[in-house]
């Protein structure tokens, strides 16, 4: 994770800090959630909502798509460069890209998932 900036400025006085326990994973083709979850375990990752109570009524949902999945370290520890580098091999070539996750910080910001985002690494502005 050392290849990503620790902090990004939004230009409005707010900034983003790198969450070293999370990633956004993009696959080349649509992937089944359950199959991907099994492969992620090989490198100590889980889907962001893997341990959520499915029966709980909550307004907080994780926006997985058929080709993009929010993941985090299963043990809650920061992702080392070695573990980050092992992801494409563990997933057998289905990885299109892996992006860093940042947390919006500033006045009145909570620590929930609603403040997590990933600047897409395959887009140039």
Q: In this structure, are strands 15-27 and 7-9 parallel, antiparallel, or unpaired?
A: antiparallel
Q: Report the alpha-carbon angle 90-94-97, nearest 5.
A: 95
Q: pLDDT of the chain along its 125 residues, tens only?
A: 889 999 998 878 788 999 999 999 999 999 999 999 999 999 999 999 887 665 555 666 788 999 999 999 999 999 999 999 999 988 988 999 999 999 988 766 667 788 899 998 877 65
SS3 88: helix
How big is the chain by its Cα radius of gyration, in Å?
A: 15
First to last CA, the chain: 22
Query: What pLDDT was estimated at residue 84?
Result: 94
What is the distance between the alpha carbons of residues 120 and 118, in angstroms, rounded to a whole number? 6
What's the CA gap between 28 and 33, in Å, rounded? 14
Domain residues of the chain, as ranges? 7-51+62-105
Separation of alpha carbons 80 and 74, rounded Å: 13
CATH code for the part of the protein at 7-51+62-105: 3.30.70
Report pLDDT for 55.
53
Tokens 């289905």 found at:
94
């Amino acid at each position: 994770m050392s290849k990503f900036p620790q902090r990004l400025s939004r230009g409005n006085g707010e900034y983003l800090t790198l969450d070293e326990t999370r990633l956004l994973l993009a696959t080349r083709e649509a992937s089944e959630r359950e199959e991907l979850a099994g492969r992620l375990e090989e490198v100590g990752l889980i889907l962001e909502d893997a341990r959520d109570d499915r029966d709980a009524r909550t307004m907080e949902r994780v926006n997985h798509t058929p080709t993009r999945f929010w993941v985090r370290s299963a043990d809650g520890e920061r992702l080392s460069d070695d573990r980050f580098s092992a992801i494409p091999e563990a997933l057998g070539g289905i990885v299109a890209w892996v992006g860093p996750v940042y947390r919006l910080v500033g006045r009145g910001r909570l620590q929930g998932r609603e403040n997590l985002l990933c600047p897409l690494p395959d887009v140039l502005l």
